[in-house]
Amino acid sequence: MLTGKNILLGITGGIAAYKTTFLVRLLIKAGANVKVILTESAGDFVSPLTLATLSKNPVLSSFVSEEAGSTDWNNHVALGLWADLMLIAPATANTLSKMANGACDNLLLATYLSAKCRVFFAPAMDLDMYKHPSSKTSFEKLKSYDNVMIPAASGELASGLHGEGRMAEPEEIVAFITDYFSKGLPMSGKKVLITAGPTYEAIDPVRFIGNHASGRMGFELAEVAANLGAQVVLISGPSHCTVSHKSIRLEKVVSADEMYHAAHKNYPDTDIVICAAAVADYRPKSVAEQKTKKNDAEISIALVKTKDILLSLGKEKKKQYLVGFALETENEIANAKAKLKKKHLDAIVLNSLNDTGAGFGTSTNKITFLDKNSTIIPFELKNKAEVAQDIFSEILKRIDA
């Protein structure tokens, strides 16, 4: 989300300035370009050399370049235009009051007044300063200028007192601004539901019927949807895959029945649903309470059908754009088309086991995307992250049309 974004970080003189080294590191790690402006007193709390090294850019403090003998000007107007977002963290009571009142006695303030981008500020001060009516007035005035406040947290303060006033943690600040950038994304405001992984159908307390699905395709789909700005619910059977994106809520299930209930619970307010799970079609008719002991006789297990989750979602479909998967070994296109129709889908993603590198247990997949208007789009063999991108770009063309 922050890749390639230009972030101008203004650091003012409070003890929380030491945390900005972590903040800069997180921003750089997230792919942002970072330039730092330090007020004079901020330099007492954090070293310009550390910030320059972490941000990979010179740190600016005064209107004239700090290099010995230089008469170059640190152009606050150019800095303001360069930034996609300006962040003032920590923002002291003094700087906030100056910002609120149009004072312009240092490079940070001049740049703030020149900035055309959205400005965020993360106050940091002692609890009584934070509560003071004049601080509150500054906050309100700045919000009325369309600046965004990242509220301070409660906790132990540098004074030893406990209360509100601690600067938000670097991770929270990054989450806040990531949210801001995500709002302009193509799937911002959309809810996406994805099923992933295998299901395990218990035979007895220690055994189950399962399959080799890794869950990777569904997890990649969730990641792409979240990166496109969607809020994602990922319902997964047992899988080693993990999620890191904060817009993905993972609901872990084991059996087809649990997946069915989780899917229906989340379905009504969902915009896009992709069923990528390899759901067991059958489950043991009864589950033995105790571990089944071996003996010399052959045994057989009676199986009954599980509920078809995708079919049931298709029957209840209202506004949702519903996508299924089909894993085929023969008559691929005809079988996929039949499933699309039978399950009331808007589209189906076909993988054929006849294609090397497609299907289960691989990091790659080769898909054909079919929609309800009989459009058939074959794709090359790609890694599953790229396949997930292809699937969402096809969906986006259709839901926006």
Q: Is 258 in the site for ligand CTP (CB under 6 A)?
A: no
Q: Which is nearer to ligand CTP, 130 or 369 (CB)?
A: 369
- Using the contact rule CB under 6 A, the part of the chain among 20-28, 120-128, 323-331, 350-358 near ligand CTP is 323-331
Q: At what angle do helices 93-101 and 133-144 cross, to 10 degrees?
A: 50
Residues contacting 244, CB < 8 A, separation 6+: none
Distance (Å, whole) CA 113 – CA 117: 11
Q: Is 109 in the site for ligand CTP (CB under 6 A)?
A: no
Q: Is 277 in the site for ligand CTP (CB under 6 A)?
A: yes
Q: Which is nearer to ligand CTP, 110 or 279 (CB)?
A: 279
By CB under 6 A, the count of residues binding ligand CTP is 15
Figure out which of the listed residues 279, 370, 388, 395 binds ligand CTP, where binding follows CB under 6 A: 279
Q: Which is nearer to ligand CTP, 312 or 383 (CB)?
A: 312
The DSSP output letter for 108 is H
Closest C-alpha to 319, from 272, 274, 373: 272
**Residue given tokens 């500020």 in the structure block:** 121
Burial of 82 (0-12, 13-18, 19+ CB in 10 A): middle
Figure out which of the listed residues 327, 333, 385, 396 binds ligand CTP, where binding follows CB under 6 A: 327
Smallest distance from ligand CTP to CB 225, Å: 16
Q: Is 309 in the site for ligand CTP (CB under 6 A)?
A: yes
- Using the contact rule CB under 6 A, the part of the chain among 78-86, 148-156, 178-186, 322-330 near ligand CTP is 322-330
Q: Which is nearer to ligand CTP, 38 or 387 (CB)?
A: 387
Question: What is the β-pairing status of strands 153-156 and 148-149?
Answer: unpaired
Task: State yes or no: is 211 an active-site residue.
Answer: yes
Q: Is 273 in the site for ligand CTP (CB under 6 A)?
A: no
Two structure tokens written together for 330: 């023969």
The DSSP output letter for 267 is S
Q: At what angle do helices 170-182 and 20-29 cross, to 10 degrees?
A: 40
Q: Answer for the pair 313, 267: CB distance below 8 angstroms, yes or no.
A: yes
Q: Which is nearer to ligand CTP, 53 or 354 (CB)?
A: 354
Residues of this chain that bind ligand CTP (CB under 6 A): 195, 256, 275, 277, 279, 281, 306, 308-310, 324-327, 339
